[in-house]
């Protein structure tokens, strides 16, 4: 049985921060793998996506071919929809159409769900370090406003994400941030190597947009995609375990 986590900031709208629990995938993908970019059995992936869609009373969920960009796809009419074989290359979606579950996939990166329930505009984003640094969050807010949202009404919730303790990075990664802004040093702690706080980085990027409220699954549940193997897929864990591939969990929101 699929077991999405909900967040109180989104209690007035259909949403789910899904774990890997439930689903039909086997082996290293065991559970609710929805990642069409993985090498899992395609029929298993499609069945998992169908299970998630049915949770929202829909035939499908809409996700993009994620490329770690700051690009936002807009769904402002029913004819803007796509099938799973023709996903747009993008890392965020905004939507003002009812009954369309929009989604972002992850396996360590942060997912973000956005909503202005007053004006019936929603959004979702896949926010790894690159997308967050390149202002995908601001771009989502800008596109939501174009669809009629108001900044003072928008709330955002960060889904499953890798913790700082588990996110060891090299010197080049650290230098990339510090060369952009010395202020970014606050997102790193130094052990044997630097460790990056992606969750807090996303929170602060959201705060810069001056939206109404911000929530984080890590703050409420202390989730860590790397260490919680029972509930979350993790790209980094798969690399360290020398596995050939990894699954993806999904965060979904629907008007």
pTM for this entry: 0.97
Enumerate the β-bridge partners of residue 189.
195
pLDDT digits (tens, 9 = 90+) for 131-179: 999 999 999 999 999 999 999 999 999 999 999 999 999 999 999 999 9
Q: Is 196 exposed, middle or buried (0-12, 13-18, 19+ CB in 10 A)?
A: buried
pLDDT at 73: 98
Helices and strands in the chain: count of H runs, count of E runs:
7, 12
pLDDT at 79: 87
Whether 23 and 48 have beta carbons less than 8 Å apart is answered as: yes
Ordered by where they begin, the domains of the chain are 8-161+212-254 (3.60.140.10)
Among the listed residues 201, 204, 129, the one whose alpha carbon sits nearest the alpha carbon of residue 169: 129
pLDDT digits (tens, 9 = 90+) for 108-132: 999 999 999 999 999 999 999 999 9
Which letter, b or e, does each residue of 226-253 get, where b requires 16 or more Cβ atoms within 10 Å of its Cβ? bebeebbbbbbbbeeeeeebbbbbbbbb
Q: With bands split at pLDDT 50, 70 and 90, how would you rate the model's confidence at 84?
A: confident
């Amino acid at each position: 049985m699929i077991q999405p986590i909900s967040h109180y900031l989104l209690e007035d709208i259909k949403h789910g921060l899904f774990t890997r629990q439930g689903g039909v995938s086997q082996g290293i993908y065991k559970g609710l793998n929805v990642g069409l970019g993985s090498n899992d059995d395609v029929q298993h992936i499609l069945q998992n996506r169908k299970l998630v869609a049915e949770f929202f009373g829909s035939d499908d969920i809409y996700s993009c071919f994620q490329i770690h960009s700051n690009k936002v796809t807009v769904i402002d009419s029913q004819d803007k929809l796509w099938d799973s074989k023709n996903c747009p290359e993008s890392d965020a979606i905004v939507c003002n159409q009812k009954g369309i579950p929009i989604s972002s996939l992850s396996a360590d990166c942060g997912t973000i769900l956005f909503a202005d329930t007053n004006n019936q505009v929603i959004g979702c984003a896949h926010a790894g370090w690159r997308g967050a640094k390149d202002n995908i969050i601001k771009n989502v807010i800008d596109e939501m406003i174009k669809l009629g949202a108001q900044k003072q009404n928008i709330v955002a919730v960060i889904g499953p994400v890798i913790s700082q303790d588990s996110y060891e990075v090299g010197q080049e990664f650290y230098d990339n941030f510090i060369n952009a802004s010395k202020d970014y040093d606050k997102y790193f702690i130094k052990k044997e190597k630097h460790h990056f706080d992606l969750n807090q980085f996303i929170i602060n990027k959201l705060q810069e947009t001056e939206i109404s409220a911000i929530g984080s699954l890590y703050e409420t549940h202390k989730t860590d995609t790397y260490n919680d193997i029972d509930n979350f897929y993790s790209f980094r864990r798969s690399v360290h375990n020398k596995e050939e591939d990894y699954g993806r969990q999904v965060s979904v929101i629907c008007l």
